[in-house]
Amino acid sequence: MNSIRTLWLAMPMSFLLSAPNAYSANSVDVEFSGVLLGNVACQIDSNSLNQKVTLQNLNWRSINQEGSSPVTPFSIGINKCSDTDLNKTIKLTWQSSQLVEIVGENFVKTQGTSGVLLGLVDQDNHPIIWNSPMSVAEVSVANGLQQINFGAFVRKPAAGEANIGDFISTVTFAVEYF
């Protein structure tokens, strides 16, 4: 989750002022206040928001024969991290409610006439874990852009063949820094 920064000085002083012998006929009330800040430094790069990844040159015959298409790379950029964010773990949660499990791996149902399923892999070409936070990197760049690489591919459905036609799928992700 986001880190929380707090004003530590306020706590000891308020304890001292609330001690029973601190009250007298000439006592003065002192109120302390502050703002708890989340990690406002790291942000998702604007080019990674509402990103569209187009899988080019897909051949339905090849997908049916080989089972899936080649992987198309894409990345999510993280920027505006501060020096205090360095070495924090970046966790991503890929989210979809349209999952289909095939031989222990999850794929996303697509809309359209092709019937293909969408798969995502991490930078090491391992299938991503859906709907659960997964560590993807450590913050390694302060005041600059850090790219986290992924890949997308399509595969034929579990039963039957992929068809000539279009497809579209939308997934979301959430980012946390620890």
Question: Considering all CA atoms of the chain, what is the largest pairwise distance in Å, rounded to the nearest integer?
Answer: 90
User: In this structure, is the dihedral angle defined by the CA atoms of residues 68, 147, 48 and 3, taken in order, positive or negative?
Assistant: positive
Residue 148 burial (10 A CB sphere; 0-12, 13-18, 19+):
middle
pLDDT digits (tens, 9 = 90+) for 27-77: 454 545 454 445 456 889 999 888 889 988 899 999 999 999 999 999 999
Calpha distance 63→22 (Å, rounded):
79
Kindly calculate the radius of gyration of the chain based on its CA atoms and give it in whole angstroms. 25
3-state percent helix, strand, coil for the chain, nearest multiple of 5: 15, 35, 55
Calpha distance 76→46 (Å, rounded):
10
Calpha distance 134→109 (Å, rounded):
21
Least confident of 29-38, 62-71, 96-105, 123-132: 29-38
**Per-residue model confidence (pLDDT) at position 16:** 28
| pTM of this structure | 0.75
* Domains of the chain, CATH where assigned: 43-177 (2.60.40.1090)
pLDDT at residue 19 above 80?
no
